[in-house]
Structure 1
Amino acid sequence: MIRLHGFALSNYYNKVKFALLEFGIPFEEVLTIPSQDAEILRHSPLGKVPFIQTEHGSLCESQAILEYVAAVYPDKAIFSRDPWEAAKERELMTFVDVHLELTARNLYKQAFFGGTVTDATQGRTEKLLIHHIRGFRRIAAFTPFLRGERFSIADVAGFASLPLVGMATQAVYGRDFLLDVGIDWKPYVKAVNARPAAQRVTDDRKAYVEAQRKQ
């Protein structure tokens, strides 16, 4: 059985968790906080989450994990069986993870953790994000899912990370960059969250936050 390491506030952990739940892949959750401890580095070379433990060894990086799971469980059709559709799903996931979330991550210190980012960082990030979001809007359908009427694996990435992009830009710049280009991500998240697997991820994240508040 797959052992999934991470914690419920991590969007990339939730990306993998959502996929495993959605496609009925058996797994065990192991609460793990990012760390530079030797034991963590033995499984995840940068000390990040998520990572998984399998009968073959450890594997990190959310996209690599999903590719591995899709190969091990071909009957689940985690990616579309149509090669073109599967490629378009991967394209969307790359946009969400790399061009949007990774760029917006430069803002998280100020948006979510009470710190500040420099004016130079804000200016550079604004320019990149606007460019990247406009590109993403050209390929994402939102009718209601990223590829159209059909839920796909791309939506595990969208569900996990698009809210962070919107909230971070709103917090730092006073406006939601996604809304600026016509991406109303709240109805999208609501549509995805109607799925039991997504609701489980949401509930577990809220429970984790509540538990942290009580400590």
Structure 2
Amino acid sequence: MITLCGFPVSNYYNKVKLALLEKGVPFTEEHVATKSTDEAVLSISPLAKIPFIRTPQGGLCESEAIVEYIEAAYPNPPLLPADPFAAAKVRELVTFIDLHLELVARDLYPQAFFGGSVSESSLARIRKQLDKNILAFKRLVKFAPYAAGDTFTLADCAAFASLPLVGMATKAVYGEDLLLAAGVDYKPYIKLVGERPSAQKVLADRKAATSKT
């Protein structure tokens, strides 16, 4: 039995949770906050980041390592294509979403969501990087109807969890959703994926967790 540790407001937690739900893997959830100093947490996630998982073989952190493990340990239904190049293209998309979009936009979150502020110089730097990276992402993403093509993959676990955050954060800070402004019309895609039972479960749990904070 896998234990998914973290909390349902985290997009990376939900990326992993989507993969588990899509595959029908039995798992339990354990609430773990960020920045924990608990040795039981640090022994698995040394930077105290979430999510991480506990398995009969041991613990594992970093969302991409986790979903790759899940894919290998529970291959059916597959969330990566059998063709090596097609699978690499899915991983390419995940990298763009996680590192080149969400991680850059994350520096906006203090101002966008938590009542903090970001310096004008930082806002300008982040805007320039996002404008560049979003146009690059636009060249790769398919939305046909899923992120990598006609099949739901690990790229969709990442995209569904993170693209709305990028859109909301940029709109809150810059006054416009930079994804939409660049012609990345992700809203119909999010609606489509949101009709899947796995996504509905993730959204319901996130809403319930948000209402408690």
What residue in structure 1 maps to residue 3 of structure 2? 3
Gaps of 5+ in 2: none
CA deviation after TM superposition for structure 1 residue 35, in Å: 2.5
For the pair 1:201 / 2:205, whether they are aligned, the reply is no
Following superposition, the deviation at residue 6 of structure 1 comes to 0.7
Q: CA deviation at 1:76?
A: 3.3
Q: Is the 8 A contact 2:79 2:152 kept in 1?
A: no
Tell me the residue number matched to 2:114: 113
Q: Structure 1: where are the runs of 5+ without partners?
A: none
Asked if structure 1 preserves the Cα contact closer than 8 Å seen for 2:23 and 2:74, the reply is no
8 Å contact from structure 2 (residues 104, 130) kept in 1:
yes
Within-5 A mapping of 1:39-78: 39=39, 40-78=41-79
Verify the 8 A CA contact 2:34 2:49 in the aligned structure 1: yes
Question: Where do 1:1-215 residues align within 5 Å?
Answer: 1-39=1-39, 40-212=41-213
Q: What is the RMSD of the two structures over their aligned residues, measured on CA atoms?
A: 1.1
Which stretch of the first structure deviates more once superposed, 47-56 or 181-190? Answer: 181-190
One-letter amino acid of the counterpart of residue 30, structure 1: E
Task: Give me the whole-angstrom Cα distance separating, in 1, the residues matched to 2:70 and 2:42.
Answer: 22
- For this pair of structures, how many residues does the alignment match? 212
Q: Secondary structure at the match of 1:194?
A: coil
Whether the aligned pair in 1 keeps the contact of 2:23 and 2:76 (CA below 8 Å) is no
Query: Distance between the aligned counterparts of 2:129 and 2:175, measured in 1?
Result: 17
Partner SS state of residue 199, structure 1: helix
Secondary structure, in 3 states, of the residue corresponding to 1:37? Answer: coil
3-state SS in 1 of match to 2:80: coil
TM-score by length of 2: 0.96
TM-score, with length taken from structure 1: 0.95
Alpha-carbon contact 2:3-2:27 (below 8 Å) kept: yes
Letter in 2 for 1:199: Q
Q: CA deviation at 1:74?
A: 2.7
Q: Deviations over 1:38-67 (max 9, x none)?
A: 332122101110000111211100000011
